[in-house]
Structure 1
């Protein structure tokens, strides 16, 4: 059945920037599908945000979980926006590549690049039907070379390319967006014992994503800090 509504799928929506994005789009009357590995956090999210959010616990790296997400889109028969937010640092504390096992590399790359690419491909029929938007969360680590960040960075670099190439191939508006350093649980895990309270809150990056969806600039890689209504 066709639905007269805007539908977004935002992965990793239970904390940090993902939670801020889910909250922002639901507040603007979007129906938002989201997931996370911790079911209790999704319950808490829905209690705050309300019934416009469809929560599905699971790991994005699991193919069966991705099929469940796809099933929710199919049930709504609509998808206007796909945001790949779920990601992993890899093994923490962060360590040089010589100390990262092949298994850990493979898992980090699956979560950060392989699983999002698979989800994008599977959701192409709905995205193309709605002339939808795909946004992948990038990082400055995708274009710089920071010691100990190799596993994460390589996955993000791959995700940038996969997202933008898919857009070029399929005629979709696709974006890789670097939100900058934010005060999140994942960022804290990268700097154990350090005070990261000087980093901006995740909510400060949300306007850049809203602006992309509203104005739809040319596909490409953007830094959230550079995006404003006057600059897009």
Structure 2
């Protein structure tokens, strides 16, 4: 078995996925990044020799098989980071007016694809007693007008993550809520509004790395749970 720690990150062409891939590569990890946008994904991979771009849509079973083949070729998977998400229509509609096909696509991306990847890759994660991180949202636990499609999908993913943690006690299984970030998806959630006050995704990565390093009990965590003050080094 290859001794280099390996991660698979979905939605790796931008935002938190891209920032996490670069941070892990700096630590010497082999990182496989996948996403639908080819050029941004390849630009991210070009930033580090240990990042491999695998363009494609995680809702496509054929692409998931290709991912599984790539992971199998590496011989191990220390981290499965399910980061790819679909917001749904922008502006976001009320639930009573939510187009059924759009809602189905949100659930396909945000719930079914992560679960399918977990099923396809779990043996590799088990082999190294690795970690599964499913990216969540405060919309999974709070009721916000217009967020019913995305929020309910993330709530479903949260619950599935909790069940996986019970079923896989030897693994570290986390739902991770990064909080608001200045991303294209967040901008789509607030069309026409200035979101420059939101933090960049890179500012969330230290909390994610701290989660991986400290390996607390499986569960749901927020980035703020791992905030550290620069002066004291103590959680804020």
TM norm structure 1: 0.96
Residue deviations 1:22-69, cap 9 Å, x none?
11001110000111111111121122x222011111111111111111
SS in 2 for 1:175: strand
Paired position in structure 2 for 1:45: 44
Q: Which residue of 2 aligns with 1:115?
A: 113
Two-structure CA RMSD over aligned residues (Å): 1.3
Superposition map of 1:99-138 within 5 A: 99-138=97-136
Counterparts of 1:7-86 in structure 2, within 5 Å, are 7-47=6-46, 49-86=47-84
Counterparts of residues 59-208 of structure 1 (less than 5 Å): 59-171=57-169, 172-208=171-207
Q: Which runs of 5+ in 1 are unaligned?
A: none
What are structure 2's unaligned runs of at least 5 residues?
229-233
Distance 1:164 1:231, change over 3 A: farther
CA deviation after TM superposition for structure 1 residue 4, in Å: 1.5
How many pairs were matched up? 230
Structure 1: how far apart are the matches of 2:180 and 2:11? Answer: 17
Paired with 2:115 and 2:162, the residues of 1 have a C-alpha distance of 11
Distance 1:167 1:66 in 2: 22
SS at match of 1:123: helix
Please, what TM-score do these two structures have when normalized by structure 2?
0.94
Q: 1:98: how far off?
A: 1.6
